[in-house]
Structure formats: C-alpha cells, structure tokens
Amino acid sequence: MLRTIGVASLAELFADIPDHLRLERPLDLDPGRSELEVYEELRALAGRNTSTEDELCFLGAGMYDHYVPALIDSIISRSEFLTPYTPYQPEVSQGGLQAMFEYQTAICELTGLPVSNASVYEGPSAVAAAGYVAKLAHDQPSRSRFVVSRGVHPHSRQALATLAHGWDMEVIEAPLHDGVTELPELDADVSAVIVQQPNFLGAIEDLESLAEAAHDAGALCVAACDPLPLSLLRAPGDCGVDVAVGEGQTLGNRLDFGGPSFGFFAATEALIRRVPGRIAGETVDAEGRRGFVLTLQTREQHIRREKATSNICTAQALNALAGVIYLSWLGRHGIVELTELMLQRTAYARERLTAVAGVHALHDQPVVREFALTLDAPVQAVIDRCAAQGINPGYPLGRDYPEHANGLLVAITEKRTRGHIDRLAAALGEAVAAERSRDADPAGATR
C-alpha cells in the first residue's frame, strides 16, 4: 500500500506533524490484552459493584429498576440498529427513521403534545434544553429568569443553572409547600416556569394551575415528567404545558449507572421550529411511496450553525428505539396496568413503612411510584444497616434537601413485590430502632 501511495515509510505520512510534537515513547497505558483477559478484568470490576440483582433496591430519584423485556435486547442488538449513524441517507435508513417517527408518536400520546423530537441526551439536560427553547422563544433579554420548582430533580436544576449562567439568566427557586410547588408572584421577567411531574419527592403536581400561572405572566411552562405515571395522570399538554421533557430510562433502558438512556422532548405546535435535535417526518419518495426523513433541519447546527436552536448532534437514537419498543410491548392497556400496579404497591409500601416506629411521611400528597419519608434516626446509618441485610431502602434526601436531613425517598417498581416491601419494612424498623437506642445511649453503642 505504501508503494501505491508513493511513500517509503509510514512515518512519511505523518510528516505534517512537527518533529518535536511527535511522541517518541508509547502512551502511558497498560499493554494491550487478549479478549479473554479484558473480559475477566471487566467482570472483576463489575463484581465490585452492588447491582440491583445483588440487593433489594428501592432507589429511584430519577432512574428506576424496571424490568426490561428480553425482546428489546434482541432487537436493539441487531447490527442494523446498533451500528449505523444518524440517518443522513434516508433511502437506506428507513428502519431507523420510521422507528423515530413511531417513537415521536408515542411521546406525543404520553405527553398530550403535538410535537416530539427523536431524543435528547437524558432527563436533566433536557430540562436545560427546554430552558434554552424558552429563552429562544421569548428572544427578549428582559425575560431573564427561570422560576424552577424545588420539586424539580436537583440534577435538572443544576444542569439548567450551568447553562443559564452562559445566557446571563437567573434561576429562581419556587418552594415546596406540603410536598408540592408553591409558585411565587411571577413577574414579566420570567421566561419559563419549570416543574416536575411527579415531583422529586414523589408528589403529583397540579400542572394545570401551574401552567396557568406561568401563562398569566407571559412565561412558558415546562414540565419534566416521569413517563410511566403519565399513563395515569392528566397529560401535560392537556394541562397547558408548553414543553414536556423527561428521563426515558424507565422506558426499556437499563440503569447503566446513569446512562446511556435518553431524554424526551415534546412541545406545542407553536414551538416546533425551536425544538432541539433530530425530528423525523413523513414524506414521499420519487414514486409517491411513504417514507421518512429528518425534517425541519434548518433548526439544526449542521445547517444553521451559530443560529441553530441547539448544538446537539449525536443524541440517543438507540435508547429511544428501546423506548418505543418498550411502549409497544406494554401497549395501550398494559402501560396503565403497570402503572396501577405500582400505584397500589406504592400505597401499600407507604402504609407499611409509615407504620414503622420512627418513620413518618414527609408529605401526604398523592403519589404514584415514589414517596418521601423522614426518619427519627440518622438516615445514612439506617441505610447502611439495611445494606448489610441486602436491602437498599432508598435515596437519602439530606444532600439535596438540607431541610430534610433524615429524609428518605423510596421508589417502587413492578419488580418490588409485597414480600420485598415487607422485608424492607422489617429491616427499616430494626435499623431505625437500633439507631434510636444508639442515640439514646451513644456511649454503649457499637455498630
């Protein structure tokens, strides 16, 4: 091959690189290994993590331990879905494009909004992306504030704040009252009101009145939604929400220590040309047959560059594909059955756990699949005691909500049975009791 090129050595091909920039020693990396050895190493690393197969997991707080049906693996591992890139050549990408179109349809159905894109990165950055859409939509420097509910996932609030700083915009927090959002007076400087459904503490928000308040102030209303509960709750679009976003992990994606999953992004017709990222649209081919293409590309960076509605390029197509397969697997009635099962088990768990001595409901709002408790004992110590029994009782709220220093967020999925919940109640009871007696007699305590 060098002969064809007309050079004498490989080195000549790198002649453009200044001599002293060329690395004369190997990179500081361990030597390469055989497939077997790499497998063994990665398995050993995996073995040092406690997965949801290793313990009874009641962690949620944005990602949930749902069962992913086997047919998803079987479909998304097909090389035809796994290995191509963004469908720049629609004629040989109809599979991916049609799947996007079907996905968008499902998201529109769930959110009650007419427009969906084909995916964004994930949940919290989707909230930030919605903020950017609000900023673009107003296009008025005077709309310089986002009012964000304290019930929005802390990661979402932080991701928005990171970006908003670049836009010279301020993020104002709306407090929670008895577990749900209490909006402050909204001025004309508000760009968007951003809430979460159900909120971070599990409570169902009254989206309609929140959206109304936002609109009254001329602001947009953005709702970050957990998609499964949407099968039961009023659709954000029906409540007047302008942009509904959310984390898609629960729709057929594995936990993967936080990613990759996908974010969904749905909006009103009015915002269609502000939406970030890829959108698949229906069209016809030269022979009049139905086909699908990436559409409204004039929103996008590769066409509009600095005028684009977002810089997003590679998104989460494969994860969104898993999402639409999952939704097809659940089906119109299955999704409701699944959600109602979670609802009933969550109600049971809430009753069981709040009946435990030293454990109280943090709020009494209706919840779907997750609820917040406060403990009369140091929450981290209680969690550690439960962990020793193979139970992860939930997410400690203290870091994000100092006002709930011993708060615990407990999530239920269809994988958590009554028997599991009973085990949790027992373990939690023991742990709290142990910690309380330790508190009472700190000198004599051993752990």
Partner 1 sequence: MTATAADDGLTIYERSRPGRRAFVAPGLDVPEHPLDDLVPARLRRAETPRLPEVSEPEIVRHYNRLSKRNFDLDTGFYPLGSCTMKHNPKLHERVAALDGHARLHPLQDPRRAQGALELMWRLQESLAAIAGLPHVSLQPSAGSHGELAGVLLTRAFHEDHGERRTKVLTPDTAHGTNPATVTMAGYEVVKVGTDAQGNVDLDDLRAKASDDVACLMLTNPSTLGLFEHGIEEIATIVHEAGATLYYDGANLNAIMGICRPGDMGFDIVHFNLHKSFTQPHGGGGPGAGPIAVSDRIEPYLPRPQVVRRGGADRVPGEDPVFDLDYDRPKSIGRLRGFQGNYGVFVRSYAYIRSLGAAGLRDVSEVAVLNANYLLAKLRAEGVLDHLPVAYERICMHEFVLSGAPMKRDLKIRTLDLAKRLLDHGVHPPTVYFPLLVDEALLIEPTETETKETLDRFAQILVEILREAADDPEIARTAPHTTPVRRLDEAAAARRPVVRQAL
Residues 181-210 within binding reach of partner 1 (CB under 8 A): 204, 206
Shortest Å, Cβ 407 to partner 1? 14
Residue type, position 295, single letter: T
Of positions 172, 347, 405, 434, contacts partner 1 by CB under 8 A: 347
What is the total count of residues that contact ligand PLP (CB under 6 A)? 2
What is the total count of residues that contact partner 1 (CB under 8 A)? 203
70 lines the binding site for a second copy (CB under 8 A)? yes
Interface with a second copy by CB under 8 A: which range of 65-73, 115-123, 343-351, 429-437?
A: 65-73
Q: Which of 377, 372, 371 is nearest to 357 (CA)?
A: 377
Interface with partner 1 by CB under 8 A: which range of 143-151, 182-190, 296-304, 439-447?
A: 296-304
State whether the Cα torsion 25-28-31-33 is positive or negative. Answer: negative
Between CA 374 and CA 6 the distance in angstroms is 74
Shortest Å, Cβ 43 to a second copy? 8
Shortest Å, Cβ 216 to partner 1? 20
Nearer to partner 1, 217 or 222 (CB): 222
Q: Which of residues 243-282 bind partner 1 (CB under 8 A)?
A: 247, 254-260, 262, 272, 278-282
Shortest Å, Cβ 260 to ligand PLP? 12
Question: If DSSP codes are grouped into helix, strand and coil, which group holds residue 369?
Answer: coil
Of positions 77, 140, 209, 437, contacts a second copy by CB under 8 A: 77
What does 319 interact with, of partner 1, a second copy, ligand PLP, none (CB < 5 to 8 A by kind)?
partner 1
Two structure tokens written together for 383: 């969690």
2 lines the binding site for ligand PLP (CB under 6 A)? no
Q: Which of residues 297-336 bind ligand PLP (CB under 6 A)?
A: 313-314
User: Is 376 exposed, middle or buried, given 0-12, 13-18 or 19+ CB atoms closer than 10 A?
Assistant: middle
Q: Which of 140, 131, 96 is nearest to 276 (CA)?
A: 131
Between CA 56 and CA 423 the distance in angstroms is 9
408-444 b/e (C-beta count within 10 Å ≥ 16 → b): bbbbbbbebeeebbebbbebbbebbbbbbebeeeeee
Residue given tokens 């977002």 in the structure block: 310
Residue type, position 434, single letter: A
115 contacts 266 by C-beta, under 8 angstroms: yes
For residue 418, what is the enclosing H or E element?
Answer: helix 418-440
Of positions 74, 142, 311, 437, contacts a second copy by CB under 8 A: 74
Residue type, position 191, single letter: S
State whether the Cα torsion 320-326-329-335 is positive or negative. Answer: negative
Between CA 298 and CA 273 the distance in angstroms is 8
44 lines the binding site for a second copy (CB under 8 A)? no
Two structure tokens written together for 399: 């870091």
123 lines the binding site for partner 1 (CB under 8 A)? yes
Nearer to ligand PLP, 140 or 314 (CB): 314
30 lines the binding site for a second copy (CB under 8 A)? no
Shortest Å, Cβ 74 to a second copy? 7
69 lines the binding site for a second copy (CB under 8 A)? yes
What is the total count of residues that contact a second copy (CB under 8 A)? 14
Question: Can you give the binding site for ligand PLP, defined by CB under 6 A?
Answer: 313-314
Question: Can you give the binding site for a second copy, defined by CB under 8 A?
Answer: 35-36, 39, 43, 53, 67, 69-70, 74, 77-79, 414-415
